[in-house]
C-alpha cells in the first residue's frame, strides 16, 4: 500500500500538464493526420497540406487561387503576360467546370488529388475524378523563350481552345515585336512618325531609316573630305 502511494506521488510530481486550449489541440491533431502530411519515396514526394491551402480551396483571394484547379495559372495580375492569358483562362474555366459542380470542389480535388501539381498525384481516386469532371482540360505551362514577347503556351484542351492559345501567342509576339522596333526607330530618329499595326511595315520603316542615315553619313563624309582638300581645316 505504501509503495502504491509513493508511486502515485512520483507520477503526480513529474507529470507534464498540457495547458493548450482545446481548439489548438484539435488543430495539432488534424495536422498530424496522414491525410494532411506529405509522403516521399525516392525522388517522388507529395507536399504537406497546410491551413493556407485549405483557405485557398474555400476562400480564394486572387485570380490564381480561384482558377488554380486548371493548373499553371498566371499569378502577377499587373503584368502584360497576365492580361494576355486572362481570356484563355476564363475560356478554359467555362469549358472545364461542369454547371452542377462548385468551383471549390474542383480546387479541393486539385489539392488532394493532384497535389496542386500538373505532374504529381496524391490520391488516384480524387485525381481521376478531377480529370473526369474537367474533361482533362488543363493549363500545362506558359513561358517566354527568346524574348519577353516570345510567349509559348502549352494546354491540354479541345481544338478551339488550342486555336485561342495560338492566337494569343501570335498577338503577344506581334505587339511586343512592334514595340521593340518602334523603340529602335525612335533611337535613330526621335522625330520619326511611327504607325503601329504591322511588324513588316515597321521593319521596312526601320530599314529605310537606317539606309537614309547611312546615305547622310556618306554624304557628310564626302563633304568633309572636300572641305579638307580645299584647306578649310588648315590653321
**Segment 201-226, tens digit of pLDDT:** 888 888 888 887 777 666 555 555 55
Q: Which residue has the higher pLDDT, 197 or 229?
A: 197
β-pair type (44-45, 40-41): antiparallel
Taking each helix axis as running N to C, give the angle between helix 124-134 and helix 103-112, from 0 to 180 degrees, rounded to the nearest 10: 140
Question: pLDDT tens across 124-137, in order?
Answer: 889 999 999 999 99
**How many CB atoms neighbour CB 164 within 10 A?**
17
DSSP states of 74-140 as a string? ---TTSHHHHHHHHHHHHHHHHHS-TTS-HHHHHHHHHHTTTTSSS--S-HHHHHHHHHHHTT-EEE
With pLDDT > 90 as the criterion, what percentage of the chain qualifies?
A: 40
Q: How confident is the model at residue 232 (pLDDT cuts 50, 70, 90)?
A: very low
> What is the per-residue pLDDT for 14?
47
Cα–Cα dist 46/118, whole Å: 12
Cell of 199: 511588324
Cα–Cα dist 60/200, whole Å: 44
> What is the per-residue pLDDT for 227?
44
Cα–Cα dist 121/1, whole Å: 59
With pLDDT > 70 as the criterion, what percentage of the chain qualifies?
A: 76
Pick from 100, 103, 128: which is nearest to 113 by CA?
Answer: 128
Pick from 198, 139, 193, 204: which is nearest to 173 by CA?
Answer: 198
Cα–Cα dist 188/191, whole Å: 9
Cα–Cα dist 188/212, whole Å: 10
Say which DSSP state 47 is in. P
Sign of dihedral through CA atoms 157, 109, 121, 115? positive
Cα–Cα dist 1/118, whole Å: 66
Indicate whether this model's pTM tops 0.75. Answer: no
pLDDT of 28 strictly over 60 = no
Q: Which residue has the higher pLDDT, 89 or 22?
A: 89
Cell of 97: 467546370
Task: Write down the domain spans for the chain.
Answer: 47-157, 175-235
Q: Which residue has the higher pLDDT, 107 or 122?
A: 107
Q: What is the mean pLDDT of residues 20-41?
A: 64
Cα–Cα dist 167/169, whole Å: 5
Amino acid at each position: 500500500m505504501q509503495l502504491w502511494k509513493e508511486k502515485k506521488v512520483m507520477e503526480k510530481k513529474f507529470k507534464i500538464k498540457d495547458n493548450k486550449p482545446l481548439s489548438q489541440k484539435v488543430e495539432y491533431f488534424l495536422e498530424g493526420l496522414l491525410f494532411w502530411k506529405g509522403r516521399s519515396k525516392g525522388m517522388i514526394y507529395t507536399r504537406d497540406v497546410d491551413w493556407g491551402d485549405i483557405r485557398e480551396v474555400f476562400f480564394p483571394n486572387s485570380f490564381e487561387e480561384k482558377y488554380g484547379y486548371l493548373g499553371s495559372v498566371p499569378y502577377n495580375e499587373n503584368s502584360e503576360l497576365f492580361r494576355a492569358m486572362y481570356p484563355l483562362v476564363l475560356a478554359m474555366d467555362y469549358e472545364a467546370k461542369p454547371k452542377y459542380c462548385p468551383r471549390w470542389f474542383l480546387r479541393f480535388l486539385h489539392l488532394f488529388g493532384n497535389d496542386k501539381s500538373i505532374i504529381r498525384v496524391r490520391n488516384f481516386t480524387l485525381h481521376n475524378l478531377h480529370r473526369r469532371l474537367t474533361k482533362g482540360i488543363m493549363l500545362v505551362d506558359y513561358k517566354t523563350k527568346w524574348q519577353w514577347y516570345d510567349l509559348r503556351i502549352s494546354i491540354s484542351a479541345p481544338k478551339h481552345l488550342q486555336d485561342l492559345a495560338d492566337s494569343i501567342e501570335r498577338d503577344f509576339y506581334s505587339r511586343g515585336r512592334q514595340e521593340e522596333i518602334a523603340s529602335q526607330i525612335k533611337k535613330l530618329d526621335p522625330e520619326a512618325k511611327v504607325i503601329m499595326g504591322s511588324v513588316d511595315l515597321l521593319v521596312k520603316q526601320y530599314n529605310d531609316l537606317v539606309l537614309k542615315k547611312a546615305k547622310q553619313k556618306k554624304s557628310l563624309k564626302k563633304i568633309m573630305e572636300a572641305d579638307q582638300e580645299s584647306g578649310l581645316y588648315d590653321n
